[in-house]
Structure 1
């Protein structure tokens, strides 16, 4: 082999070795440094935890002190965050109360929807039992979230999402058709709408009543709703 060829071969091997080393170093650097999206995940999780902590603290403050007496400073302290951080998530008490109302409404819809989904045939749940379960689920929610009732009287301009409201009524309407197959869809929807409005009218009475009176009110509402459903669907 000529000297020129040998020199070219050596130069090629050296260049190849250097390129491989550079590529390996680059790959190692990529492995060691996660992508920005990976680094954002923990921050997102912390943000979600802070958001939930503020809502939980606000719910407790509104239940114990009332909406007017509770302050953002108290809520932030109870949540374990600075007041500046609290304002980054919620600009004022109204925003916290609005978010809580939204959360409570979503959970109430979820509980009622689960009740409907759990009964595929009319024979599984008599109408009286249906009325009892629907009301019990709402009372259970009020017990689980003591701020639920106090926030109902706060003027927030809150209104449930129309699509969510319609979906819940459609589910009850479909259930009612199974009880009475000849029922028109429009009539079934109307019965569902009236039933839910009647049940929700318990809220202000329940909020104003003493504990012993609350049990009696709940029993009265169960009787009213059961009798009305029997008259319309029986």
Structure 2
């Protein structure tokens, strides 16, 4: 298995045409990873799907790991932006609505970005340190949301709250992946209510 520690980084494009080519290559990679799975996908298939030469792909991404890291980085930035959008609107909502928005955020994002799911479920696709960095950045974004929504809440409680919210959002994703059933629907409702009540506790702390 290729070593993630020695995998050379992707080369950043310098011109508009290069940016467009990289975007096309990453889109093709995302589709290939979803269709084939990360392990089975090849650089040749990614280049062919993008309508590019293999040399063009290697020009920007010397390894499949570099492709995956660039793709995951883009997904992560998009996810941070979505949390930021919630942060900007959180003051407008009651805790019930905020709970629903938080629960749906991860679920909707993973459904709309299936390659994000593929990469997060294959540890070899993203270096362990980078995966940890993404998780911690998500938590920092949630800290910003909660501190803005509940001003005056002690820092320690904000940090603990962000951790709880993050794990509840992950639970919502895992629950959504189960086969649709009355039990799943009931559990989803209960999870949202649990987060709502938890946010009420934070508000009154």
Asked if these proteins are the same fold (TM beyond 0.5), I'd say: yes
TM-score range, shorter chain: 0.7 to 0.9
Return the index of the structure with the highest Cα Rg. Answer: 1
How far off its partner does 1:218 sit? 4.3
Let me know the Cα RMSD of the aligned residues. Answer: 2.7
Aligned position for 2:121: 153
Mapping of residues 10-89 of structure 1, within 5 Å: 44-89=15-60
Q: Provide structure 1 residue ranges, at least 5 long, that are not aligned to the other structure.
A: 1-41
TM-score (norm 1): 0.69
Highest RCO, 1 vs 2 (Cα 8 Å, sep ≥ 6): 2
CA distance in 2, matches of 1:204, 1:166: 18
What does the per-residue CA deviation read over 1:166-203, in whole Å, with 9 as the maximum and x for residues that have no partner?
A: 6413312323424xx4x212212221222113312444
1:175 aligns with 2:143: no
How far off its partner does 1:211 sit? 5.2
The verdict on how the C-alpha distance between 1:161 and 1:131 changes in structure 2, with shifts beyond 3 A counting, is same
Q: Provide structure 2 residue ranges, at least 5 long, that are not aligned to the other structure.
A: 1-12
CA distance in 1, matches of 2:182, 2:15: 45
Aligned position for 2:73: 102
The verdict on how the C-alpha distance between 1:214 and 1:145 changes in structure 2, with shifts beyond 3 A counting, is farther
Deviates more, 1:90-99 or 1:103-112: 90-99
User: Post-superposition, which runs of at least 4 consecutive aligned residues in structure 1 deviate over 6 A?
Assistant: none
What does the per-residue CA deviation read over 1:21-59, in whole Å, with 9 as the maximum and x for residues that have no partner?
A: xxxxxxxxxxxxxxxxxxxxx961111011111111111
